[in-house]
């Protein structure tokens, strides 16, 4: 007679067999739940969540064209409303009115968030608004709007900002924007400057 090794299962008590079955069922359920959580779209980080599909449909043709051109040049941006795109966790925001040269007394871009330096490509805080909050390095205005011109500004940042024609030691035409100031109708030589630099210097310009 041949002895067959025992697996221990046949001889286990009904109570022990029941506990083992319940344990296996619980482990299987936990594994399925974990897989579902990893795959669920709602668990993705905000940075990887696609823009709201209705934003383009809710925007005007001018907004879509202007924001689309900026995103083609700087594709890391995320559209957060029909009129606005943000980059680098709101370090840069671009807001576009419903039309160029809107015939409204208070354009949608008039405001400027606290802690930001805002520049506008039309007088009286109108037109496209670009707003920046990170200090210490040059940022290229032309990559958001080709041939950008600064015609007005609002600085709600405590320190001075600079518009510079070049980001070299010879800055070319320059404009110093003091902290907490407004400029409504700038038409000077630095209006076409390509670079903006937020500093940590709060001395008067």
- The tally of domains found in the chain comes to 1
DSSP state of 195: E
Contact 159, 115 (CB under 8 A): no
β-partners of residue 174 are 164
Residues 96-139 pLDDT 10s: 999 987 655 455 567 899 999 999 999 999 999 999 999 999 99
Contact 132, 139 (CB under 8 A): yes
Residue 47 lies in a domain: no
Residue 181 lies in a domain: yes
Chain centre distance of CA 107 = 22
Residue 135 lies in a domain: yes
DSSP, residue by residue, 131-186: EE---SSEEEGGGTSTT----EEEE-SSS-EEEES-SSSS--SEEEE-TT-EES--
pTM of the predicted protein model: 0.73
| CA–CA distance, 144 with 130 (Å, rounded to integer) | 8
Does the pLDDT of residue 8 top 80, yes or no?
A: no
pLDDT at 110: 72
Q: Please give the structure tokens belonging to residue 184.
A: 């409504």
| CA–CA distance, 119 with 27 (Å, rounded to integer) | 58
Give the range among 13-22, 71-80, 184-193 with minimum mean pLDDT.
13-22
Provide the domain limits for residue 101.
60-198
pLDDT at 35: 35
Residue 85 lies in a domain: yes
Neighbours of 97 (CB within 10 A): 22
Q: Which residue has the higher pLDDT, 174 or 1?
A: 174
pLDDT at 169: 82
Share of the chain above pLDDT 90, in %: 66
pLDDT at 2: 44
Does the pLDDT of residue 47 top 80, yes or no?
A: no
Residues 64-101 pLDDT 10s: 999 999 999 999 999 999 999 999 999 999 999 999 87
| CA–CA distance, 55 with 83 (Å, rounded to integer) | 8
Residues 25-46 pLDDT 10s: 433 443 333 333 333 333 223 3
| CA–CA distance, 44 with 128 (Å, rounded to integer) | 31
């Amino acid at each position: 007679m041949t002895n067959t090794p025992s697996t221990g299962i046949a001889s286990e008590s009904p109570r022990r067999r029941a506990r083992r079955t319940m344990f296996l069922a619980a482990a299987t359920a936990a594994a399925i739940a974990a897989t579902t959580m990893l795959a669920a779209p709602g668990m993705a980080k905000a940075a990887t969540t696609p823009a709201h599909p209705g934003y383009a449909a809710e925007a005007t043709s001018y907004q879509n064209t202007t924001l689309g051109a900026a995103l083609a040049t700087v594709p890391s941006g995320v559209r957060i409303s029909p009129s606005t795109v943000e980059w680098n966790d709101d370090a840069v925001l671009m807001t576009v009115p419903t039309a160029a040269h809107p015939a409204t007394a208070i354009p949608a871009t008039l405001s400027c968030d606290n802690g930001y330096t805002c520049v506008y490509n039309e007088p009286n805080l109108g037109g496209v608004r670009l707003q920046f909050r990170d200090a210490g390095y040059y940022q290229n205005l032309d990559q958001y709007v080709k041939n950008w011109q600064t015609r007005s500004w609002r600085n709600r940042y405590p320190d001075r900002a600079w518009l510079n024609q070049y980001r070299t030691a010879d800055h070319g035409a320059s404009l110093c924007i003091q902290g907490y100031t407004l400029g409504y109708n700038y038409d000077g030589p630095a209006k076409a400057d390509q670079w903006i630099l937020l500093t940590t210097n709060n001395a008067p310009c």
